[in-house]
Amino acid sequence: MWHKWKEKFMCKFSKSIKFLQGIDHTIPMVNPKLSRRPTISYRPIQPSDLEILEQIHADLFPIRYEAEFFQNVVNGHDIVSWAAVDRSRPNGQSDELIGFVTARIVLAKESEIGDLLSYEPSKSDQTLIYILTLGVVESFRNLGIASALIREVIKYASSIPTCRGIYLHVISYNNAAIHLYKKMSFMCVRRLQGFYLINGQHYDSYLFVYYVNGGRSPCSPLELVTGTLNLMRNGLKSVFARLRKKEDRKVSKWGKCKETHCLISTTQSRRNLTTECTGYECV
């Protein structure tokens, strides 16, 4: 009896370890809204997914995508993708999409975040992954499917030696997506005013970035602190140099200024400090 229980325990423990290590992508999950335990698996999007892919996009997003976009996704034309399916669904639905992520590889030098990426301009082959769409059917949410799909993208980007990061846009009112990307260690680096135009109304967008393979912001936290300290030090040196120069002038002209009591202006010194110590700006 003990041996049977031990075998079952070790089997479950082994599966959990494999899933956490990214070896096993099929694991039962629980959602209170579902009457059963779904078994989620991940695979590339296929041509047979076209109809359901279009339907889910129409249901989830306020933006309408062209037919060409969906054709490129299902046929893998310049777009990489992953589908989430529930293998435990009955009636031939076990391979039907319940979630997806689509992405495109772009050259770093041609991307809109080139100024947010520290890379060598001489290396023209450096790339980025841009996440186009990410969605999960409502009844299958809160199962970690979206997080798992993002991890697939991160793993894929990390496997490309020339890739330096992943980036995407999130509409400003989508708090759930904003929370998800922050939880996944994406950095919100910019807010774009009026980025989206939906039904005649403009909405802002947040730009998120996740660095891989040594990619990083042009200004790391350490560089920011170091740069600030250097600027402060140089600014103080400049101020002290000006003070010493004026002291020398005062001493050399003391005879002429004896009756008027010439002094160095404190106000002037502060103004020089403000002028010399310019801000150290970094996104």
Kindly report, residue by residue over 50-90, the tens digit of the pLDDT. Answer: 999 999 999 999 889 999 999 999 999 999 999 999 998 88
DSSP string, 139-202: GG-SSSHHHHHHHHHHHHHHTSTTEEEEEEEEETT-HHHHHHHHHTT-EEEEEEEEEEEETTEE
Mean pLDDT over the full length of the chain: 76
Are 194 and 245 in the same domain? no
- Same domain for 104 and 168? yes
Structure token digits, residue 236: 């103080």
131-149 pLDDT, tens digit each: 999 999 999 999 999 999 9
Task: Report yes or no: 126 and 96 within 8 Å, Cβ to Cβ.
Answer: no
Does 103 fall in a domain? yes
Q: Are residues 71 and 190 in the same domain?
A: yes
pLDDT digits (tens, 9 = 90+) for 87-123: 988 877 888 999 999 999 999 888 888 777 765 656 6
* pLDDT-based confidence at residue 229 (cuts at 50, 70, 90): low
Given this model, what pLDDT does residue 122 score?
61
Range of the domain at 119: 31-211
Q: How many domains does the chain have?
A: 3
| Residue 106 sits in the same domain as residue 198 | yes
Cα–Cα distance measured from residue 246 to residue 116, given in angstroms and rounded to the nearest whole number? 43
**C-beta of residue 5 within 8 angstroms of C-beta of residue 11:** no
CA atoms within 13 A of residue 210's CA, in its CB half-sphere: 21
- Tell me, yes or no, whether 40 lies in a domain: yes
- Do 97 and 155 share a domain, yes or no? yes
Q: Using a pLDDT cut of 70, give the percent of the chain over it.
A: 63
| pLDDT band for position 38 (cuts 50, 70, 90) | confident
| Alpha carbon distance 105, 164 (integer Å) | 11
Helix (H, G, I), strand (E, B) or coil at 131: strand
202-223 pLDDT, tens digit each: 999 999 999 999 887 765 554 4
pLDDT at 140: 94
Token pair in block for residue 216: 């990083």
